[in-house]
Amino acid sequence: MTKLLEIREQIKIMLNRYEAFIFPVGKFLLAFFALSMINGRMGYMNRLDNMALVLIVALTCSFLPMGSMVFFGAIFSLAHMYALSLEVLLVGVCVYLIIFVLFFRFGPKDSLVVLLTPLLFCMKIPYVMPVALGLIGGPASAVTMGCGILVYYLNHAVVENGTRIIALGSEEAVAKIRMVLDAGVLNKEIFIVIAAFSITMLVVWFLRRMSMEYAWTIAIVSGALLNIVILMMGDLMFDTNISVLGTILGSIVAVGVGKVIEFFKFFVDYRRTEKVQFEDDEYYYYVKAVPKITVATPAKTVKHINSATAASRSVTTERTARSASSAAATRSSGRTGGSSVQDSRRSNVKNQPVNKGKSVTINGQMTSSRKESEVDFEEIF
Amino acid sequence: MLNEEKVILMTKLASYEETEGKQNEKIGNYFRGDYLTVEVLKSLLYGTIAFVLGFGLYILYDFDVFMEDIYRLDIFTFAQNILTYYVIALIVYAVITFLVYSFRYTGTRKKLKRYYHNLKKLSMLYQKK
């Protein structure tokens, strides 16, 4: 656990330090993933299904506000609808406008949720969204999540009925509109999913704010269970063909993601809970304090090899000068300072008995930190 | 000499001003009643646009049936029904808007109060010096 906590702290530090790079890169990747997924699933307009274009738009999104991703996603989606049929585009524009006009004014900051919800649906784990939003969002996020669900089902309906819409002639305009509206807006499954996810989100939000012990874990697990129950009940009542296994597996993933969020956002030690009571002139205070579990990140001690080298170098140079003079005397050769340093060092190592008293420091360095002395030698040689 | 307390306080204030400060100050300029009235009026406008779009889709959904029945239709009753739906939808939307924005207004006032308290504290620190 300590290792995990250390990793968490290091991640936090890294995010803080490289925030300027990490967020744009994250936005770029998310935009690229979302747009590629729209192109991959719909892909009716060939001109949009172009990697260079997707890359350019994703790159643009990386330095624009979060809302731009939703805007470009909607434009891509509408363009594919247009390529499929003008009637489908009409439905798409109307639904997107209603969503924008009615709901976006409540939670413009949550625009990312509108993009992430359909993405999670495509990844078969939409159950993560209500649990995660209940943990990190507020009750107003339920509205934006509902919009995301509607967006997914509309696009899904267009994809599912694509071939049938193409097969219908231009004189069957009303039939096309009816087909898309039936599958993408007036579908009972949509209402059940929106109701289940919204209730789950609100229950998770409500429970995690309570002062009981293990509130976050209780909120996550009960939210996931409630979600399963509502979806299954809706399936039984309205026969919506929601996959039981998929719901259960998705909910297990949602619990896992919820626990990860808890680890990063609300990791406390309930065993060390303190309850104190005090009063002032106006109130009695009943305070419950739960300590956070934190661990100090291991401080990296940086040894400045250069300073040690400089110190040893000064010793060596001094020594060198002496031995060089003696070597020069014995060999009677006129060498430069640099080469005499090399020579003297060799003579120091080789002729230890001669310079025993002075070489003690060098040996000492070698034994205490091998690397240090290695660098020392490397630099000198 | 750097005054650590002052630097921390100024950083907090600057961070608040950079993020939600400007928006909150706009909200803080309104009285509660005025702010809620403006937002509810905006909602009525947006709600009307959304209702028109929704009504358009409804007509399109059953366009052929609608065109067949249009001459047999009692226009007055039809308009009355549509108007009833419109009023109900707008009332529901206005109530939701009222609740959400009154909650938001209270939160913003609290934040602004904290901000002004910190400003006062900073001013005191300057005076002390």
pLDDT per position as a tens digit, A116-138: 999 999 988 999 999 999 998 88
> Which range is least confidently modeled, A363-367, B21-25, B63-67?
A363-367
Give the sign of the dihedral formed by CA A164, CA A166, CA A172, CA A174. positive
Give pLDDT, residue A309. 55
Q: Tokens for B30? A: 């309104």
How far apart are the CA of B52 and the nearest CA of chain A, in angstroms? 9
Average pLDDT over residues A148-152: 92
Residue range(s) defining the domain that contains residue B104: 4-128
pLDDT bin (cut points 50, 70, 90) of residue B129 is low
For residue A267, pLDDT beyond 50: yes
Average pLDDT over residues A75-88: 92
Higher-confidence residue of B4 and A43: namely: A43
Q: Residue A23 burial by CB count (10 A; 0-12/13-18/19+): exposed, middle or buried?
A: middle
> Which range is least confidently modeled, A109-123, A292-306, B23-37?
A292-306
Average pLDDT over residues A300-325: 59
Give pLDDT, residue A281. 78
Q: Tokens for A319? A: 């020594």
A-chain residues within 8 Å CB-CB of B46? 101-102, 105
Report DSSP state, residue B2.
-
The residue among A148, A105, A102, A108 whose CA lies nearest residue B50 is A102
pLDDT bin (cut points 50, 70, 90) of residue A13 is confident
Share of chain A above pLDDT 70, in %: 79
Average pLDDT over residues A331-338: 40
A-chain residues within 8 Å CB-CB of B61? 174, 177-178, 181
Contact A102 B56 (CB under 8 A): no
Share of chain B above pLDDT 70, in %: 98
Q: Tokens for A232? A: 């299954």
Contact A105 B56 (CB under 8 A): no
Domain boundaries, chain A: 2-271, 305-380
The Cα A224–Cα A200 span in angstroms is: 7
| Touching A: B residues 58-87, CB under 8 Å | 60-64
For residue A77, pLDDT beyond 90: yes
Give pLDDT, residue A354. 37
pLDDT bin (cut points 50, 70, 90) of residue A307 is low
For residue A62, pLDDT beyond 60: yes
If you average pLDDT over every residue of chain A, what do you get? Answer: 78
Average pLDDT over residues A9-26: 86
pLDDT bin (cut points 50, 70, 90) of residue A333 is very low
Report pTM. Answer: 0.73
Higher-confidence residue of B17 and A248: namely: A248
pLDDT tens digits for range A209-261:
888 888 889 999 999 999 999 999 998 888 877 888 989 999 999 999 999 99
Higher-confidence residue of A13 and A169: namely: A13
Give pLDDT, residue A339. 39
Decide if B49 touches A, using CB distance below 8 A.
yes
**ipTM of the complex in this document:** 0.77
A–B interface: beta-carbon pairs under 8 A? 40
Q: Residue A232 burial by CB count (10 A; 0-12/13-18/19+): exposed, middle or buried?
A: middle
The Cα A118–Cα A111 span in angstroms is: 12
If you average pLDDT over every residue of chain B, what do you get? Answer: 87
Average pLDDT over residues B95-111: 90
For residue B76, pLDDT beyond 80: yes
Give pLDDT, residue A311. 53
Best mutation target among A16, A90, A98, A143 (most B Cβ atoms within 10 Å) is: A98
Give pLDDT, residue A336. 39
Backbone dihedral region for residue A43 (phi beyond 0: left; psi -120 to 50: alpha; all else: beta): left
Contact A105 B42 (CB under 8 A): yes
For residue B45, pLDDT beyond 60: yes
The beta-carbon neighbor of B100 closest among A94, A106, A178 is: A106
Decide if B46 touches A, using CB distance below 8 A.
yes
The Cα A152–Cα A38 span in angstroms is: 10
For chain B, how many structural domains are there in total? 1
Average pLDDT over residues A294-317: 64
B-chain residues within 8 Å CB-CB of A178? 61-62
Best mutation target among A174, A178, A187 (most B Cβ atoms within 10 Å) is: A174
